[in-house]
Amino acid sequence: MSPSKHWLANQIAYSGWADQRLLTACSGLSPDELDRDLGSSHASVLRTLRHIYYTERVWLKRLRADSLPPLIEIGDQRLFCDSPPEPDLHALRTDWPPVWQGLQQYLDTLPDTELTGELRGIDCSIPRWKLLLHMLNHSTLHRGQVMSLLRQLGKQPPGTDLFEFHLVGHSPA
């Protein structure tokens, strides 16, 4: 059974809200703190934020193109990262909101019957709703890592819990 478009729209709104809260919290970090290798999967706060941004952006691009690359390319980050210089925190704060808006727009314009339809590549396929759910889960995982990195830097991370999102009234009606 697939989730409703309304539920997915709520989750996309939450994910963008949580990403934005992290970006705001990280704006108080020094350049050294932002890029300090703290031994996490993507080394630093900035590199982890970039990873979340890149993957949300590439999944939006693939959804809009209505196709998947070959399976071997799906997780190859070298294929969807920006060339140096990669975005700094300011660029992420500018460039990321259109990705969240694009995901909402994609979902808003997607016919209900297409939500369960397959996004296909030459050697794999996945229902669109499962791909969106994967992307949202992936972002949540890495936001949790950024929260931990902020604590390692002696900072208090912002609240990004789904409960808080609903509590402050950001969920769609």
In a domain, 137, yes or no: yes
Comparing CA positions, the residue from 34, 14, 71 lying closest to residue 149 is: 34
pLDDT one-digit tens code per residue, 95-150? 999 999 999 999 999 998 999 999 999 999 999 999 999 999 999 999 999 999 99
13 SS3 class: helix
User: In terms of C-beta distances under 8 Å and separation of at least 24 residues, what long-range contacts does 111-118 make, across chains too?
Assistant: 112/5, 115/2, 115/5, 115/8, 116/2
Q: Which residue is associated with the tokens 């705001």?
A: 24
The DSSP secondary-structure symbol of 112 reads G
Domain with 141, as residue range(s), is 5-167
CA-only gyration radius of the chain, Å: 16
172 is a domain residue: no
The CATH code of the domain that includes 95 is: 1.20.120.450
pLDDT, one tens digit per residue, over 67-87 is 999 999 988 888 889 999 999
Q: Count how many domains the chain has.
A: 1
Q: Note whether residue 23 is domain-resident.
A: yes
Question: What is the distance, to the nearest Å, from the Cα of residue 32 to the centroid of all Cα atoms in its chain?
Answer: 24
Residue 173 lies in a domain: no
pTM of the model: 0.94
The CA-based angle 170-103-116, given to 5 degrees, is 105
Answer yes or no: is 131 within a domain: yes
Report in angstroms the alpha-carbon separations of 156 from 34, 65, 159, 166, 168: 14, 40, 9, 21, 19
pLDDT, tens digit (0-9, with 9 covering 90-100), for 4-38: 999 999 999 999 999 999 999 999 999 999 999 99
In a domain, 75, yes or no: yes
> Dihedral through CA 16, CA 21, CA 27, CA 30, nearest 10?
-110
**Which pLDDT score, from 0 to 100, does residue 173 have?**
43
